[in-house]
Structure 1
Amino acid sequence: MYYEIHGLAAADAPVLVLSSGLGGSANFWQSQLPALTKKYCVLIYDHLGTGRSPAELAHDYSIASMASELIALLDELHIAKCHIIGHALGGLVALHIAASSPERVISMVLVNAWSSPNPHTTRCFNIRLAILDNCSHSVYLQTQALILYPPDWIVGNIQTLEKEEQHLLANFPDKTNLLARINALSQFNIDDKLASLTVNTLVIANKDDILVPWQRSQWLADSLPHATLVLFDYGGHACSVTTPTDFNNTLLKHLETF
């Protein structure tokens, strides 16, 4: 898998692994790097089958598969323990590792994530699948932006967003892989294990997230034994992009407790 290491050396500082959502791109975390690399070793990566990590994903691909891939990367880099910060699908990967290999996780941060399917998010992904099947890639990306960002943020950042969409259009993911990743996140359900996950957890959610109801984060915080919920009024699904200062400050406050 393609990866980048930023900041301090792993031998000198705690390691932060930043795991992206459905798009799987390491570039999603650009707004976090300046704040995190002063004190930490930061690992970002393109999920297998996305971006710069080309692969043909298996028909039975799952969140467990993604977790195994990340563990293999950590082993390759001789990283025994780390903090895992996961956005949406990346949060599901963190949850699976916390359940299957808790000794590898110092803490986890779950950003607009979930532990089981819900009717609203399922409908959103059904619509995205229909657009993927029946519309151009450009329309799919414009729909994606509507899901990720608040309306006023789109208006205020339209030139940057359109430039990013042109880049994404030129590197549009393999459809089969995209379908496999959507199927994997749609089937993920770890509700019956939450009470046994003892990893210290920060849950971040946004009330204006139109993809994942913030109550799913409340459920995570209530169900995990050692979890704290931070709930923002504004930021949308991709708050690490739209409100990076508030997001980064919240993340640093959590990390400074270790």
Structure 2
Amino acid sequence: MAFARGDDAEIYYEVHGRGTPVVLSAGMGGSGSFWTPQLEALARRHQVILYDHVGTGRSAAGWRSIAGMANDVASVLDHAGVDAAHVVGHAIGGIVGIELALRHPKRLRSLVVVNGWGRADPFLRRCFEIRKQLLNQSGPQAYLRAQPLFLYPPQWISENIAHLDAEEERMLRHFPSVATMNQRIDMFLAFDGGKRLAEINVPTLLSSARDDALVPAYLTRELAAAIPRARVHEVDWGAHAFTVVTPGVFNEALLEFCNEVDQ
């Protein structure tokens, strides 16, 4: 574990394994621990870098613009002595990856966006408006209590309820400030890649779940139409956090893609 210095804020990160570097950027929660289901499989072949977004986890408090968050990834790579990495981002972490590809393209060996979007549509906005109302009117515990309903398939929730209850308690102890969460939600809903997406010139994999009820798979298909030569990988089941629900399926696709790029 180590701390990189990025724009006057300390960024917590960890490095595991050896091989071609892969940096993993989490979604709204911001914690590198989101990628625990990927860590063992990836670290057998790659140098895996996990980090906590500024304002979350063990990184400094506060918040960043999307450009600032992209710069933070570059700072982590600098501190870890990495010139270029496969950059993998889930949801808003994917948007950070997109911004990095536009601002610092030489720092990416490839880009992988999981359940992401290039522009929020009315459905996605409504989902996040509801989540903000829960957070602001009922508090972090209510927000976290409802979170699995947006992330996981119903049956998986039922079968893993004890784990989810324990995870809720852990996340509540480390929950970012309400102001930080509001700023993060507003910032990523405002993101619009627009015509800039056509400038992305690194190998790109866009992965999504057809049963994602938070960020529908059609948003991934729209993103694919905007990024030159982007490849789409869809799974049938697993919802928004299918990397947690069916990690083996995602890990296999990710490893295959990285290996192809590294050839």
TM-score higher than 0.5: yes
Match of 2:220 among 210, 217, 221: 217
Count the aligned residue pairs.
251
Match 2:118 to one of 115, 120, 134 = 115
Q: CA deviation at 1:162?
A: 0.6
Q: Which of 176, 188, 192 is the matching residue for 2:191?
A: 188
CA distance in 2, matches of 1:176, 1:139: 16
CA distance in structure 2 between the partners assigned to 1:139 and 1:223 by the alignment:
37
Q: How far has the Cα of 1:136 moved from its partner?
A: 3.5
Structure 2 residue aligned with 1:48: 54
For residue 21 of structure 1, the aligned residue among 27, 30, 37 is 27
Aligned equivalents of 1:88, 1:80: Cα separation in 2: 24
Which letter does structure 2 place at the counterpart of 1:27? Answer: S
Does structure 2 conserve the Cα–Cα contact (< 8 Å) formed by 1:149 and 1:238?
yes
* Separation of aligned partners in 2, 1:226 and 1:94: 16
State the alpha-carbon separation in 2 of the partners of residues 228 and 136 from structure 1: 39
Alignment partners' CA distance in 1, 2:236 and 2:194:
26
Deviation at 1:138, TM superposition (A): 2.0
Query: What SS does the corresponding residue of 1:98 show, helix, strand or coil?
Result: helix
Q: Which stretch of structure 1 is more off in the superposition, 36-45 or 215-224?
A: 215-224
Mark the CA change 1:222 to 1:93 in structure 2 (over 3 Å): closer, same or farther: same
Cα distance, 1:78 vs structure 2? 2.0
Confirm or deny that 1:173 pairs with 2:176. Answer: yes
8 Å contact 1:32–1:248 — kept in the other structure?
yes
Q: Structure 2 unaligned segments of length 5 or more: list them.
A: 1-10
Q: 1:96 maps to which residue?
A: 99
Distance, in Å, in 2 between the alignment partners of 1:232 and 1:133 is 34
Could you list the structure 1 runs, at least 4 aligned residues long, displaced by more than 6 angstroms after superposition.
Answer: none
Structure 1 counterpart of 2:128, one-letter code: F
Q: How does 1:29-40 map to 2 (within 5 A)?
A: 29-40=35-46
Task: Please give the secondary structure, in 2, of the residue aligned with 1:231.
Answer: strand
Give the aligned residue type for 1:110: V
The question of whether the paired residues in 2 share the 8 Å contact of 1:62 and 1:185 is answered with: no
CA RMSD of aligned residues (A): 1.0
Q: Per-residue deviation at 1:131?
A: 0.6
2:17 equivalent in structure 1: 7
1:241 aligns with: 244
**What is the Cα deviation at residue 226 of structure 1?**
2.1
1:254 aligns with 257
Query: Shift of residue 169 of structure 1?
Result: 1.3
Secondary structure of 1:172's match?
coil
Matched, 1:148 2:158: no
TM-score by length of 1: 0.95
Identity %: 41
User: Which one-letter code corresponds to 1:180 in the other structure?
Assistant: Q
Q: Distance in 1 between matches of 2:127 and 2:236?
A: 21
User: When the two structures are superposed, what TM-score results if normalisation uses the length of structure 2?
Assistant: 0.93
| 2:211 maps to 1:205 | no
